[in-house]
Amino acid sequence: MKTVTLTLNKQPELYLECNDITPDAFAGKTPAEIAAIEIWEGKQKIPLGDFFTVEGSAGATPAETKIVVAGDCTRVKRIGQQMTDGEIVIESDVDMYIGGWMKGGTIHVKGNADSFCGIGMEGGELIIDGDAGHHVGAAPRGEWRGMKGGVIRIGGNVGNDTATFINGGTIVIGGDADIHISTHGEGGTVIVKGNAKGRVGGQMVKGEIYVFGTIENPLPGFKKIETVERDVEGVQAQFDHFIGDLGERHPKSKGQPVYAHLYVKA
Amino acid sequence: MSEIIIKNGFVFDPLQGIRGDKVDIAIKDGKIVETTALTNPKTIDAAGMTVMAGGVDIHSHVVGPKVNTGRLFRPEEKLFQNIKKTGSRMEMGTSIPSVYKTGYDYARMGYSYVNEAAMPPLHSPHVHEEIRDTPIIDISAMPVFGNNWFSLEYLKNNEIENNAAYTAWLLRATRGFGIKIVNPGGSEAWGWGLNCANIHEPVPYFDVTPAQIITGSIETNEYLGLPHSIHIHPNNLGNPGNYVDTLETLKLAEGYTAKNAFGRTQVMHLTHLQFHAYGGEGFNFESKVPEIMDYVNSHDNITVDIGQVTLDETTTMTADGPFEHHLRAVNNLKWANVDVELETAAGVVPFVYSANNKANAVQWAIGLEIGLLAKDPMRTYITTDHPNAGPFTRYPRVIKWLMSQAAREAQMDAFKHRDKVIDVTNIAGIDRELTLYEIAQMTRAGTAKALGIADMYGGLAPGMDADVAIYNLNAESMPSDAEEIEKAFSRCAYMLKDGIVAVKDGEIVAEPAKRTIWVDVKVPENAQVNRDIYEHFLKHYSLKLENYSLFEEHLHNPRVIEVNAAE
Ligand SMILES: [Zn+2]
């Protein structure tokens, strides 16, 4: 594994759209070639080297390439978009769409990430040490085929609309979640270690949600059927098991209706 | 204006009976002229290429509120795909392309005219604003009549003259082209959450049957002598067993002959026949194309278009509100559905047609059977009911399937349920391969004649619009690989609109002015209809009569076809 270090050396007037800061785009390139990759500020294309100093070197393939992004990246968007392999470490807070549509590899954000991180995710691992904004691991606007796979771990709290239309994969939230979790969900798992505000699992037909704390406003479409013991994220505990959303359609599998499952720590 | 001569090409012009001969096409001031009329023309060398008139699409949904609803609620169609700028405006979208992409893509395929299949009269300003913004291609739009309160009441009482006066008024108010009927009676019943189960079941609260609506509309159309015939999307779209209703609907045309000054010979155009040719029940539906095409082939006062399923992800949209609501429950995707006051309804639902789905594969076969069992290609036309059965950008693929048995077999071999599909269809036993002449009949000559515009569009005779498509296909040695046919029809070598080269080597190079075509009918003054219109607007419409008719500034570059029914 070879490492390229990018250091943001001035703040953009608008926001930088850096969907080509990926191991896929960097692999096999010299630092000079990497500095020549074009990024967007507003409607203008600018060489990456105008904003970042480029040090180190990229590996021959994405899998052998690690990118470290240093400097204050709160106005930088779309790092790691559609990446398939390799590793990215972002040392600071970062703006929207980090790891969007990622298929493989790892992204580690040491600060907070703004909205839309991990949207349309298909594989790989996205770790945010701090908080994340809205639409974490959600389907892109209009799309009904949401997150398919991979893991998203948020250390802190998240905003609204986590995991909308989730189909697969896992999202673990260390803190609290605002309204709307797994809306229209058809698979996958969301684990909230803190509290959830409300509208948890609305119109969800399949998949699982675990809430370690409380749900401030639970939906009437979920019905408690039992209390079970579960080992979740290394925590052994009793959970109240609900099925739902009873207001939705219930497809059948082997003659049995399929429901979404909501577990709330008893 | 400059002069152009297109030399050495293989010309296919069914309106003049030209079957691939090397004929020079002369153009002056935007019109086709005799070659002797040219003095110093620029030459386009079409050696080794196929020359046809600009394509004429008889049925496509390209402008208006339901198309735009589709555009708005499918942003995912524009994500990472099909966004580009080669003409003067950005292009985007796939099954419901932006207005600009719509115009450019039709031009790239060599089409110069599109008939918008369903204009909700109340929303005609929106339709015309999008017509204006769709570049290059000339567009007409048919207002929807079959569920309109005025028409239902007049036709219930068999008041053809009154219905004709109202029709003439509405065509003028909306700058419309002809009489479109969608699920007659059924879309109105949908206002009460109901439908019409067959063409003899009265429309709830109106006491008129779909059959009466259809025959009354034929009589109205021929009384007025409109360029186009009634254009009908019959009842029970998509329901297995519906071929019975389709045959009964077609039989309603018996005894009627076309009365018009535009060379049209049919009294009924039945659209997207593929959706209406199903036998069997439930998911075990089967092809009834031979029964239907036997009838169509032997009755020359009928025309049809195919509505070919192209096996793509697309967006369905029709004025058939109850059908779209049914579709929503089939695939559980997002949906939109509206009732348009006294006039019509509409629904929009995304749909994924898959080669792995038996029903979709059967639909594919049924569509092609219609084209292949057609005895008169001047009366059977290529459409995909864009975007309902597939995007119009797949016409070249449909042409490939119709022209190549090998291409059809390759597609059938890719079906997950190949044998089951073959069991319930006739496609495997058909070895017919359509010729370039027949394709020209099905895509321009026949459609222009059926629309009553064959004096301007669809052919290359002197005096007609100089709309010409030149395809990279050598008619004397057609490619053995059918993919080359699809490629040639997708991106034409040249497309000329009004004598201006708009497309060269498949790319937009100029954007000549486009027109709005509409039909202005003179009828005798009719005090009763005037009063009915006034009263209905007073009591039932949400807006005033004065604000209803299209304002002149909405109408873009009009070409009006005048009809006199007052004498
Ligand atoms: Zn249609």
Report the gap between the CA of A140 and the closest CA in chain B (Å). 7
Beta carbons of A141 and B334 less than 8 Å apart = no
Q: Does A110 lie in the same domain as A19?
A: no
Residue A151 gets the label, from left (phi > 0), alpha (psi -120 to 50) or beta, of beta
Beta carbons of A140 and B334 less than 8 Å apart = no
Please answer whether residues A116 and A122 qualify as being in contact, where contact means their C-beta atoms are separated by less than 8 angstroms.
Answer: no
List of chain A residues whose C-beta atoms are within 8 Å of the C-beta of residue B74: 142
Strand-pair partners of B504: B494, B507
Please answer whether residues A208 and A233 qualify as being in contact, where contact means their C-beta atoms are separated by less than 8 angstroms.
Answer: no
Q: Does A104 lie in the same domain as A19?
A: no
Domain extent, residue A173, equals: 96-265
Cα–Cα distance for residue pair A92/B551, rounded to 1 Å = 57
Please answer whether residues B424 and B415 qualify as being in contact, where contact means their C-beta atoms are separated by less than 8 angstroms.
Answer: no
pLDDT category at B20 given cuts 50, 70, 90 is very high
Listed in sequence order, the residues at least 6 apart from B416 whose beta carbon sits closer than 8 Å to its beta carbon are B355, B356, B357, B358, B361
A76-95 residue pLDDT tens: 999 999 999 999 999 999 99
Domain count, chain A: 2
Q: Which residue bears the tokens 């040695």?
A: B477
A252 touches chain B (CB under 8 A): no
A249 touches chain B (CB under 8 A): yes
Q: Does A162 lie in the same domain as A112?
A: yes
Beta carbons of B74 and A142 less than 8 Å apart = yes
Q: Does A135 lie in the same domain as A187?
A: yes
Is A80 among the domain residues? no
Lowest-confidence region among B374-388, B536-550, B552-566: B536-550
Interface pTM, i.e. ipTM: 0.89
Residue from the list A140, A142, A249 with its beta carbon closest to the beta carbon of B73: A142
B429-483 residue pLDDT tens: 999 999 999 999 999 999 999 999 999 999 999 999 999 999 999 999 999 999 9
Report the gap between the CA of A44 and the closest CA in chain B (Å). 16
**Mean pLDDT of all residues in B116-121:** 94
B334 touches chain A (CB under 8 A): yes
Q: What share of chain A is helix, strand, coil (3-state, %, to 5)?
A: 5, 40, 55
Per-residue model confidence (pLDDT) at position B292: 98
Cα–Cα distance for residue pair B147/B155, rounded to 1 Å = 11
Beta carbons of B76 and A143 less than 8 Å apart = yes
DSSP output for A87-115: EEEE-S-B-S-TTTT--SSEEEESS-B-T
B463 touches chain A (CB under 8 A): no
Q: Is A55 helix (H, G, I), strand (E, B) or coil?
A: strand
Higher pLDDT, B424 or B567: B424
Interface probe for B, chosen from A143, A204, A248, A250 (most Cβ of B below 10 Å), is: A143
List of chain A residues whose C-beta atoms are within 8 Å of the C-beta of residue B333: 144
Q: What angle do CA B30, B126, B72 make, to 5 degrees?
A: 110
What separation in Å is there between the alpha carbon of B388 and the centre of ligand 1? 7
Cα–Cα distance for residue pair B391/B309, rounded to 1 Å = 9
Is A12 among the domain residues? yes
Q: Is B367 helix (H, G, I), strand (E, B) or coil?
A: helix
Is A231 among the domain residues? yes
pLDDT category at B189 given cuts 50, 70, 90 is confident
Is A4 among the domain residues? yes
Give start and end residues of each alpha helix (H) in chain A: 23-26, 31-36
A residues 101-160 near B, CB within 8 Å? 140-144
Per-residue model confidence (pLDDT) at position B225: 98
Beta carbons of B333 and A142 less than 8 Å apart = no
> pTM of the entire structure?
0.95
Q: Does A210 lie in the same domain as A157?
A: yes
Residue B127, CB half-sphere, CA atoms under 13 Å: how many? 28
Beta carbons of B79 and A140 less than 8 Å apart = yes
Q: Does A236 lie in the same domain as A124?
A: yes
Is A87 among the domain residues? no
Report the gap between the CA of B331 and the closest CA in chain A (Å). 11
Residue B219, CB half-sphere, CA atoms under 13 Å: how many? 17
pLDDT category at B1 given cuts 50, 70, 90 is low
List of chain B residues whose C-beta atoms are within 8 Å of the C-beta of residue A144: 333-334, 350
What separation in Å is there between the alpha carbon of B511 and the centre of ligand 1? 27
Lowest-confidence region among A53-57, B331-335, B342-346, B449-453: B342-346
Per-residue model confidence (pLDDT) at position B343: 81
Listed in sequence order, the residues at least 6 apart from B145 whose beta carbon sits closer than 8 Å to its beta carbon are B151, B167, B170, B179, B180, B181, B217
Q: Does A131 lie in the same domain as A37?
A: no
Report the gap between the CA of B76 and the closest CA in chain A (Å). 5
Q: Cis (ω within 30 of 0) for the bond into A245? A: yes
Is A134 among the domain residues? yes
Per-residue model confidence (pLDDT) at position B197: 84
Q: Which residue bears the tokens 């190549």?
A: B404
**Mean pLDDT of all residues in B400-421:** 98
Beta carbons of B79 and A143 less than 8 Å apart = yes
What percent of chain B clears pLDDT 90, i.e. is strictly above it?
A: 86
Is A127 among the domain residues? yes
List of chain A residues whose C-beta atoms are within 8 Å of the C-beta of residue B75: 140-142
Please answer whether residues B175 and B127 qualify as being in contact, where contact means their C-beta atoms are separated by less than 8 angstroms.
Answer: no
Q: Which residue bears the tokens 């789905």?
A: B357
Cα-based distances in Å from B41 to B11, B32, B59, B463: 19, 13, 36, 17
Q: Which two tokens stand for residue A7?
A: 């250091």
Closest by CA position to A83, among listed A98, A71, A73, A69: A98
B79 touches chain A (CB under 8 A): yes
Q: Does A104 lie in the same domain as A24?
A: no
Q: Does A245 lie in the same domain as A124?
A: yes
B74 touches chain A (CB under 8 A): yes
B193-211 residue pLDDT tens: 788 888 998 888 888 999 9
Beta carbons of B74 and A144 less than 8 Å apart = no
List of chain B residues whose C-beta atoms are within 8 Å of the C-beta of residue A249: 332
Q: Does A253 lie in the same domain as A143?
A: yes
Q: Mean pLDDT for chain B? A: 95
List of chain B residues whose C-beta atoms are within 8 Å of the C-beta of residue A140: 75-76, 79
List of chain A residues whose C-beta atoms are within 8 Å of the C-beta of residue B79: 140, 143
Q: Report the C-alpha dihedral over residues A172, A176, A180, A184, rounded to 10 degrees.
A: 20
What separation in Å is there between the alpha carbon of B339 and the centre of ligand 1? 17
Q: Which residue bears the tokens 């392309």?
A: B97
Beta carbons of A144 and B334 less than 8 Å apart = yes
B328 touches chain A (CB under 8 A): no
Residue B310 gets the label, from left (phi > 0), alpha (psi -120 to 50) or beta, of alpha
Beta carbons of A142 and B332 less than 8 Å apart = no
Is A75 among the domain residues? no
Interface probe for A, chosen from B94, B96, B332, B349 (most Cβ of A below 10 Å), is: B332
Q: Does A65 lie in the same domain as A100?
A: no
Report the gap between the CA of B352 and the closest CA in chain A (Å). 12
A115-144 residue pLDDT tens: 999 999 999 999 999 999 999 999 999 999
Please identify every stretch of chain A with a pLDDT value under 70, giving residue numbers as ranges. none
Q: Does A158 lie in the same domain as A112?
A: yes
Beta carbons of B76 and A142 less than 8 Å apart = yes
Beta carbons of B75 and A141 less than 8 Å apart = yes
Cα–Cα distance for residue pair B441/B27, rounded to 1 Å = 22
Of A69, A85, A113, which residue sits at a domain end?
A69
